[in-house]
Amino acid sequence: MKRALAFAGRNQKEILRDPLSYLFCLAFPLVMLVVMTVVNESIPKESGMTVFRIEKLAPGIAVFGQTFLMLFACLSVSRDRAGSFLVRLYATPARSGDFILGYQIPMLVLGAAQTAVLYAASYVVSLIVKTPLKPLGLFWSFLSLQLSGILFISFGLIFGTLFSEKAAPGLCSIIISLSSFLGCIWFDAESLGGIMLKICKALPFFYCTKIGRSALALSFTKEAFWLPLLIVASCALVFDLAAVLIFRSRMRADLA
């Protein structure tokens, strides 16, 4: 465990010292938060378009931010694998579990910090547009979204382990676009219905935004919250396990 923490410390430092991390994981979502709020102000109320209202926008932006967490998780693994740094660590007493934990822990910490910052900013925005968010809702939403954080981080680790430094970020950007569309971050599939809604409901991203929004509204019904939560939690568990197994088998293959 101490070795995992040592490795986690190194990974955290490397990410925090990369200015791009702040740009993508914080600045970009914050800019989107402000831009979309401004856009929302110019949408006439009677249009019935609610997706950019702060109570829906904030959780959407939080999930959007997590997709960049995925990108950085992916980059930190694929960069290490491309160089000989990880190889030399393989010749130390550290084991595969230490490495995978060492990649996960800092991402979870950074993920929690990211949601916290985005929600603090959202709260301020909600005060400015005079539709204040409920602090308790923000809290529960923050907690539930850590599950989707685990899911996205697992995606990142899997891509980073399986693909090269060149291919992996590209694959991540596919997931980023997919999840922002099919996760209903920028449009409301539920009011659209039809085939689009079916596709959204077949993928986990939809449920990530859903639990964030329901928790924020404090609507803890089975339909709105618990069922989606179960789906996100199961996906997080499955993909997290997959990430561990894939990393382990890849490490074994590298040492063959």
Partner 1 sequence: MTERSFEMIKTTKLTKKYGTKTAVDGLGLCVYEGELFSLLGVNGAGKTTTIRMLSCLSKPTSGEAFVGGYSVKEAPQEVKKIIGISTQDTAVAERLTVRENLRFMASLHYTDKAKIEERTDEMIQVFRFQEVENQLAKTLSGGWQRKLSIAMALIGDPKVLFLDEPTLGLDVLARRELWKMIERIKEHRTIILTTHYMEEAEALSDRIAILQNGRLKALGTLQEIEEKAGVKGLENAFVAIAGKEESL
Residues lying near partner 1 in the complex (CB under 8 A) are found at 2-3, 6-7, 9-10, 13-14, 17-18, 83-85, 87-94, 255-256
Instruction: Give 88 or 130: the residue with its C-beta nearer to partner 1.
Output: 88
Q: Helix, strand, or coil here: 49?
A: coil
Q: Spell out a b/e string for 21-51, using b for 16 or more CB atoms within 10 Å of the CB, else e.
A: beebbbeebbebbeebbeebeeeeeeeeeeb
202 within 8 A of 182, measured Cβ to Cβ: no
The CB-of-102 to partner 1 minimum distance in angstroms stands at: 10
The CB-of-5 to partner 1 minimum distance in angstroms stands at: 8
178 within 8 A of 152, measured Cβ to Cβ: no
Instruction: Give 10 or 134: the residue with its C-beta nearer to partner 1.
Output: 10
The CB-of-30 to partner 1 minimum distance in angstroms stands at: 24
Instruction: Give 30 or 94: the residue with its C-beta nearer to partner 1.
Output: 94
56 within 8 A of 126, measured Cβ to Cβ: no
The CB-of-73 to partner 1 minimum distance in angstroms stands at: 16
Element at 133 (helix H, strand E): none
**CA-closest candidate to residue 254, choices 4, 95, 76, 86:** 86
116 within 8 A of 142, measured Cβ to Cβ: yes
The CB-of-78 to partner 1 minimum distance in angstroms stands at: 15
Question: How many angstroms separate the CA atoms of 189 and 198, rounded?
Answer: 9
Instruction: Give 90 or 186: the residue with its C-beta nearer to partner 1.
Output: 90
Instruction: Give 218 or 255: the residue with its C-beta nearer to partner 1.
Output: 255
